[in-house]
Each structure stands twice: as C-alpha cells, then as structure tokens.
Amino acid sequence: MMTHLKVREIIGENCITSDDGQKIYDLVHPEMQAQHPVELDFSEVKIFASPFLNAAIGQLLRDTPPDDLNSYLKINNLLPVMRPVLKRVIENAKAYYGDEKNRQAVDEALNNKAAEE
Amino acid sequence: MRITIRPNVNDDTEDFDYLFGLLHQVKDRPSELELNFSKCVFLRQNAVAFLGGFIRLAQTFAQVKVSVNQHGKIHFGDEKVRKNLERNGFLKTLGLPCGEADSGNSISYREDRTRQQDAFTHYLREDWLGRGWVHVTDTLKSFIISPMLEAYINVFDHADSLIGVVSCGQHYPIRKELKLTLIDFGVGIPFTVREYLKKPDMKASDALQWAFQPGATTKIGPLTRGLGLKELKRFVKTNQGKLEIYSDRGYVCIDHTREDFRDRITQFKGTVVQITLNCDEQLYTTDNEFDTDESWF
C-alpha cells in the first residue's frame, strides 16, 4: 500500500529551509529503506528552495540506490518551473553521494580550485 | 559627530564606495551621531537600505539623531527624497516624522532582525513581483523568488549580522527595471569561505568565485550543497537582468554578457546582494521550464 504524503499539509505552502526538508526526509527515508512505495505530493506548494530539496530528497541518495528511488518514490504535482531545479539537486546529490571516493573528490576539487586561485 | 549625506547616491560602484565609507567614518564608535539630509536630492533603493542598516548599526553604540528643523520635520534637499522615504516606509520604520503616502514605485524598506521566511516570501511575492510591473505567472514568480529567499536565509545561517538584513526596492518605469537590494552588516562571504577552506589569504574575488561553483557551500553537515547563487545566476542570464554582490573587498557583476569577479579597494564587511530584473515580459522564461522527464533518479 502506497503512503501518500501531502507536503502542503506537513510543511505549508513555502518549502524553503533544510529543517523543513529534514521533516520530509524523516518520513520518506524509513519507507525507502523498507522498500515501501511513497507518493510525495507537492500540490498547493508555492515556493521551493534548494536547501529544502537537498534535505528532503537529495539526501535520500546517501544510502538509497537510484533504482530503488525510481521504483518506490513518486514525486507528483511539482510546479513545472521547479522541475529543472529538482533535477539539478538530484544530479548534484548523485555526484556527491555516489560513493565515498567521489564525495572526497568533490571536496578536494573544490578545495584545490580555491588553493589554485 | 555629524554626517551630511551627499546630494546624489546612485547604485554604481562609486556610490557603494561612498556608502561603505560612512562605516569607516564611525569606526571609532562616536557616542553621538547626527545624520543630516539637507543636501540630499536623490537616493536609490540601495542607499535607502544601506542608510537604514547604518542607522540601526550606529544605534548599537551611539545616540543617533536625524536632523530635524524647528517644526519637527526632517529637512531634505529635495521634497522628492522626503516623499520617496515616506513612500517606501523608511521614515516610519525608523520612527522618524512622516505622513501617510501611497507606495508609488517603491518596494518597501524592510528590516528583519530574525529569520521570518514566510513574511519575507510574502514581501517578495506581493511587494516586489506582485505589483504588475512584471507580467509573470504565479509559478514563474515562485521560481524567481526561490533563490532570493536563499540569499535571505543565508544571512541568518552564515552572516552573523548584528542587525539582520535590510532590504528595499524600486521600480524604474522609464528604464523598465525592477531593483531589489538586500544588505547585511555581518562578516561577509569571503570571511566565511576563508574560514571554511582554511585559506586566510584567499582573495575576496576568488572566495566569491568559489561560492558560485556548483556544489560549493560553507555549510558543514551531511547534506548536499547549496544551489542558490547558481540558480540566481542562471535566471538573470536568461532574463537579461543583472546580479551584483559586494562583500568584503569582492565584487561580482553577472549579466547575460559577462561574469565579472573583481577585488576592490573599498572594503565592506557585510554583503550586498542587488538584483535588477528586466521588465520586458518576453524575457521571463526559464531555460528549460517545460522539462517533463519522468525519471527523477
């Protein structure tokens, strides 16, 4: 049976902070670990910011394989203009959490770039 | 100590130098400070925001007086300046003598000592984008507002600003521009980046450039990294607007033709984020607004 989470009812119409994103993550993550389907319904949510999306969704990639997320997590009714932003959040998270080596490489690359400059 | 505000304060780099210089004038923290507007004939929104923050900061160490004449009215060099400061709520917010006025082309002067993201979201949605000066859909408004909210939240997460954040905006109908300026008087982005990277000698312009890289953030923790500045950059480029940031000695100017990161002589240990939107509605789109790819991960 699919769990339906209406983000508007849990957070409100403005989804901005990582604290609020963490609340969503805390609800979704155990279901993903148990391979239970979840629908994340963004209807009536008007504002998104990347700290929220990073915490709520990007963070799932730390220990959940992308295939599992595609299978068990449905993201519905996201504003069309925010779709590219969520895409970039996911790509960013995939690169960062992809594996420990990659994560260290991203950290090092950013630090080295700073050192070169 | 008395400071007479000069006749014109625009929003070019030289004008910001003048404003930042005011802070240097009070670096010895005088116990009394008088601000005199009698020569002032033109103030842009950035000057209004800065002067409001400056007064609040000065009030933490000085008795601040804004010059008033014998009838209890502030004497401005030009009636238009008084009217403008009345319209944008500057005088009222600072408890200075004023009457009631319609808001005209002003976007309210606003002070946030603490994070009030819902109230600030309302300010951006209604006061900045909701006045009919730009014709955008509600969903596109959300897209424009999001990175500005991130800039606002960053102040409370990173800046350690004694007076929080001050903001003010203005619509310029002849230039078809809509401007909004956010200012904090905190530690500045380069300081935070240097601390995070443990690179105390890093140039301010390099630190700002680092902050714009995909994946870069100074926030420590298990989460992936911020995209706010990158999203803001994408938006202003697509829509031929302009994003300017002053922080420490660093200056960034991004528009559809350039990304200019520079070090400047004048130092401001805080951060100014100024966005200029082009009111031409044909320019209001995102690069891939209607992406319908269903496979998220």
- B residues 16-75 lying closer than 8 A (beta carbon) to A: none
- A16-38 pLDDT tens trace: 888 999 999 999 999 999 999 99
What mean pLDDT is reported for chain A? 87
Segment among B138-142, B155-159, B268-272 with least mean pLDDT: B138-142
Q: Is B130 exposed, middle or buried (0-12, 13-18, 19+ CB in 10 A)?
A: middle
Q: Is B258 exposed, middle or buried (0-12, 13-18, 19+ CB in 10 A)?
A: exposed
Residue B130, amino acid? G
* pLDDT at site A103: 61
Specify whether B157 is located in the same domain as B254: yes
Question: Hunting for tokens 């009838």 — which residue is that?
Answer: B71
Specify whether B91 is located in the same domain as B114: no
Specify whether B63 is located in the same domain as B120: no
Residues in chain A within 8 Å Cβ distance of B199? 114-115
User: Residue ranges of the domains in chain A?
Assistant: 3-116
pLDDT band for position B86 (cuts 50, 70, 90): very high
With the C-alpha atoms ordered B279, B281, B287, B292, is the resulting torsion angle positive or negative? positive
Cα B132 from Cα A34, distance rounded (Å): 49
What backbone torsions phi and psi does residue A31 show, to the nearest 5 degrees?
-70, -40
Specify whether B110 is located in the same domain as B252: yes
End-to-end CA distance of chain A: 53
Specify whether B93 is located in the same domain as B112: no
Residues in chain B within 8 Å Cβ distance of A50? 146, 150, 226-228, 231
Domain endpoint, select from B37, B64, B97:
B97
- A residues 27-56 lying closer than 8 A (beta carbon) to B: 46-51, 54-55
Residue B166, amino acid? V
Specify whether B84 is located in the same domain as B117: no
Question: Hunting for tokens 């601000």 — which residue is that?
Answer: B35
Domain endpoint, select from B48, B72, B97:
B97
* pLDDT at site B294: 64
What backbone torsions phi and psi does residue B285 show, to the nearest 5 degrees?
-150, 165
pLDDT band for position A106 (cuts 50, 70, 90): low
Specify whether B88 is located in the same domain as B234: no
Q: Which two tokens stand for residue B116?
A: 């009030």
Number of domains observed in the structure of chain B:
2
Domain endpoint, select from B97, B131, B163:
B97
Specify whether B132 is located in the same domain as B207: yes
Higher pLDDT, B159 or B294: B159
Model-level ipTM above the cut of 0.85? no
- B residues 101-140 lying closer than 8 A (beta carbon) to A: 117-118, 121, 125, 138-140
Segment among A65-79, B7-21, B39-53, B94-108 with least mean pLDDT: B94-108
Mean pLDDT of B110-123: 94
Residue B114, amino acid? T
Which of A46, A87, A90 is facing B291, going by the closest CB pair?
A: A87
Which of B143, B153, B223 is facing A81, going by the closest CB pair?
A: B143
Report which of B234, B229, B226, B228 is spatially closest to residue B285, judged by C-alpha positions.
Answer: B234
B42-43 and B8-9 beta bridge pairing? parallel
CA distances in angstroms from A63 to A71, A91, A108, listed in the order given: 15, 15, 22
Contact B75, B37 (CB under 8 A): yes
Contact B182, B152 (CB under 8 A): yes
Specify whether B139 is located in the same domain as B245: yes
* pLDDT at site B290: 45
Q: What domain range includes position B92?
A: 1-97
For residue B204, give the chain A residue with the closest CA: A117
Specify whether B246 is located in the same domain as B127: yes
Cα B56 from Cα B54, distance rounded (Å): 5
Specify whether B85 is located in the same domain as B171: no
Specify whether B270 is located in the same domain as B237: yes
